[in-house]
Amino acid sequence: MIPQYPTGHDLLSGKVVVVTAAAGTGIGSAVARRCLEEGASVVISDWHERRLGEKAAELAELGKVHAIPCDVTKEEQVQALIDSAVGHFGRLDVMVNNAGLGGTKSVLDMADDEWSRVLDITLTGTFRCTRAALRQFVAQGGGGAIVNNASVIGWRAQAGQAHYAAAKAGVMALTRCSALDAAGHGVRINAVAPSLAMHPFLAKVTSDELLEDLTRREAFGRAAEPWEVANVMVFLASDYASYLTGEVVSVSSQHP
């Protein structure tokens, strides 16, 4: 049974939040929606401009939304994202690094460019956004929060996922180490590690057999809804997590 969708409680009232890869139907758009419902002003970004515009129009019914196209593999576009967010809303309080790329390929058949693309978007893209956000936080006088989207696959082995698992394990390590670099500036950096969050794009790129197998491993007998993962990201972004940094929170009911 899927639980009731929660109402907002102003956990992010007055904060400015940037969310990458927010134009689709997955965790990114869900966290953007939940941030708006919790009182934040939200900047959404994505590389797909048409979908980004459509998502911005949809979310604008909930609150203040600003959309900026951004390819996280391009440092200048990442910096432009931060600059535009600050120019539009006056400051930055929360950076949600959601952009990532997966795929299924055996190491035996994987080409260098397939490996590199997944690492560049999923891990190095998170680094670029973390660096740009941290520099903005310091320029503002300190404070702020970064929330990264990792995955339980960074801990658990799965055939055909060497590139994605390596990238997500890297996101976890980046989260822990950058948190120590940022702590002196009053900035918190944490991550979530979802197991299986169902949305149309995942269903499109994953076989029914694999989805059924992954679902069977979940203690609740179902995949998470994207908003259930987003709720944990909202908590990590909020002042309720004021003494939490360098942590990777598993959002999973998976059992062996």
Residues that are catalytic: 164
Region of 30 please: left (phi>0), alpha (psi -120 to 50) or beta: alpha
Contact 143, 187 (CB under 8 A): yes
Give me 222's structure tokens. Answer: 């179902």
Residue 28: name the closest of 67, 64, 75 by CA.
67
C-alpha–C-alpha distance, residues 182 and 214, integer Å: 36
Residue 167: name the closest of 256, 99, 235 by CA.
99
C-alpha–C-alpha distance, residues 192 and 35, integer Å: 16
- Taking the CA atoms of 132, 9, 66 and 56 in sequence, report the sign of the dihedral they define: positive
